[in-house]
Chains A and B, each alone.
Chain A
């Protein structure tokens, strides 16, 4: 029942947004903001860039609303993809201008991934080399295939796999495993 209500609400946004109705756009903005903010923060190391990326992403979403096809997927997935692409492109631009990434030093508590505070976990992973962090997010969190990743960020599928492997190694090297997580690690390495 609740799902049906959400779908009705989403259909309303879509109609309104396609017609350029500012009220519908505002409603969609407030509904999408937490989701997109989380996605953008995962891909952005500098918090000051988050707002710029979000703004750009929302403008793209509203300006390209007519390109959204409900038959191909949910509106939230489409919006998230736009936000992620915007964040990736912004990251590329800034990488060109800034050159070397700033190293983030965050103390890692000797705890398992499951027990760690989510905000700390996100910030800890940002200490990873940027290209590995990007592939980790795209593949592990957002579920893109290596082929899709290669198209999105302009690398080969093999390179995407390599980066994911390095990202996993980076995590294993920095987290202390115990209890169930240790078992999980053992199973994984088998």
Chain B
């Protein structure tokens, strides 16, 4: 004899359901259409795991920082740079005269330079720092203006085209020096001022005796080699432009002048406990989610940081809710038995009162989402390329959303939302952080840290809650985060 539930199982296993006319065709048409979409249905971003979002944020931050570096680093930048180092123009101090003094010397003519400039700049305008030996020959008049064939610097071209010292140079060398200084003083970028028009440049040239054709030839055949130097700005303040930032070697960067941008993300862990009803705390279990942010770390006399962080804290309520209700079910009300024979005479059936017990298992994840502005003081130690330390501080937390379930006095689970929490959205959260980082490149550090904090997490007060609101409760949320990140060190030019 088979057990009744085996029979039941066997029968139900064979159940196929009545065929609905046209159902198969409709169904296949829908499936066919869905399968024809090549990439399938995209998952909405809101359903993606926070871990993926955090990872995407980290990657985006890293890409942003790399792009910033590429813009800022002159060795990476494809833009042409001008050589403004004074070492290329080794004029005696006496010759580095004020332009006004130079102008008083009648024998020289700094306009000699524009002839070279006009011949070199025109065919090769972007290469301002070099003389083009294949440049078209200048006029004899122009050649005669060249007083120092060994130093036909293009900077002279720039200066003369501006007309600042034309016809006033005391000596050729001093003209070069002065031109550079004048150019540097007027603009960090000399290039735009270079005239590429041969005729106009030549027109500015004035005749000067004492220069031979041989001088011109030697100049044309042996152009001086000029080094490309770093373009510097007059302002030492960091800016978004590509010119001012300089990232040096780690040893070259004085620690007290540096600061860093740290992008991080990682899983969060949080645990909730009910302060005003500790017995209920047993039903709340820790759970994890994710968060990430950007910190600006300053290394002055004291190392401190400030930033913006987004975190999602989750804790888990697991609770079996039991309710009892009175029911009335058909059953045997009375049985009439013959006393003498013991036979059953009649059975009276009717409604029988009873109690139905209903259990509901609740497995709910309560959430708290917040933006935070952490302010942290750090104590940093270095061990070779390894940096480690402790951070202490506080976060100004701005709650952006919350939802969850809580147990009321009757032992029933009730839902709450963001509106049921305390009216003030700001919470100050004391926090601590242990961190370590590997300086794998002069200006880069890979970070790993653990941050922890504790905060109040409570409903509105009873007086402040609407009548239909969930019960009031006072709770405490302990949370932590594993932070995986990347730091980029920046410095200011003195």
Note all chain B residues with C-beta closer than 8 A to A143. 9
Which among B1, B17, B34 has the highest number of chain A CB atoms within 10 Å? Answer: B17
Known: A34-B17, A121-B12, A187-B3. A155 touches B34 (CB 8 A): no
User: In the bound complex, do residue B1 and residue A183 qualify as a contact, i.e. CB atoms below 8 Å apart?
Assistant: yes
Which B residue sits closest to A173, measured CB to CB? B329
Residues of B within 8 A of A59 (CB): 31, 34-35
Cross-chain contact of A188 among B4, B11, B40 (Cβ < 8 A) = B4
Interface size on B, residues (CB 8 A): 34
Contact B31 A113 (CB under 8 A): no
* A137 vs B27: C-alpha distance when bound (angstroms): 25
List residues of chain A with CB within 8 A of the CB of B45.
none
A154 and B3 contacting across the interface, CB-CB below 8 Å: no
Q: A113 to B8, Cβ gap below 8 A? A: yes
Give, as a whole number of angstroms, the nearest-CB distance from B69 to chain A. Answer: 42
A54 engages B7 (CB within 8 Å): no
Q: Which residues of A contact B40 (CB under 8 A)?
A: 63
Contacts of A63 in B (CB 8 A): 35, 40
A141 with B13, Cβ < 8 A, contacts A30-B24, A63-B40, A181-B4 known: yes
A57 and B207 CA atoms in complex are apart in Å by 93
Q: Are the C-beta atoms of B9 and A141 separated by less than 8 Å?
A: yes
Is there an interface contact between B3 and A184, defined as CB atoms closer than 8 Å?
yes
User: Given A29-B31, A59-B34, A184–B12 Cβ distance below 8 Å?
Assistant: no
Contacts of B15 in A (CB 8 A): 38, 41-42, 118, 122
B19: chain A residues within 8 A (beta carbon)? 34, 37
Complex interface: chain B residues within 8 A of A50 (CB): 17
Give the contacts of A116-172 with B (CB-CB under 8 A).
118-119, 121-122, 125, 129, 131, 137, 140-143, 154-155, 159, 162, 168, 171
B182-198 residues with Cβ-Cβ distance < 8 A to A are none
Q: Specify which chain A residues have a CB less than 8 angstroms from the CB of B18 in the assembled complex.
A: 119
Picked from A29, A55, A113, A183, the residue with its CB within 8 Å of the CB of B11 is A113
A25: Cβ under 8 A from any B Cβ:
yes
Given A55-B34, A184-B1, decide whether A118 and B7 contact each other with a Cβ distance below 8 A.
no
Q: Taking the nearest CB of chain B, how far is it from the CB of A86, in angstroms?
A: 13
Are the C-beta atoms of B24 and A122 separated by less than 8 Å? Answer: no
Interface flags, A36-65, vs B, CB<8A=1, else 0: 011011100000001100110011001100
CB pair A118 B14 closer than 8 Å: yes
State whether A140 touches B9 (Cβ < 8 A).
yes
Q: CB-CB < 8 A to A62: which residues of B?
A: 31, 35
Measured between beta carbons, the chain A residues less than 8 angstroms from B27 are 29, 33, 51, 54-55, 58
Q: Which of B2, B17, B26, B320 contacts A38 (CB 8 A)?
A: B17
Cα(A118)–Cα(B9), bound, Å? 11
The minimal Cβ–Cβ distance linking A162 to chain B, given in whole angstroms, is: 8
B5 within 8 A of A: yes
Q: Chain B residues near A25 (CB, 8 Å)?
A: 31, 35
Q: Which residue of B lies closest to A116 (CB)?
A: B11
Residue of A42, A51, A185 touching B23 (CB-CB under 8 A)? A51
Interface residues of chain A, those whose CB is within 8 Å of chain B, are 20, 22, 25-26, 29-30, 33-35, 37-38, 40-42, 50-51, 54-55, 58-59, 62-63, 113-114, 118-119, 121-122, 125, 129, 131, 137, 140-143, 154-155, 159, 162, 168, 171, 173, 180-181, 183-185, 187-188
B interface list, Cβ under 8 A from A? 1-5, 7-9, 11-19, 23-24, 26-28, 30-32, 34-35, 40, 320, 329, 358-359, 361, 363
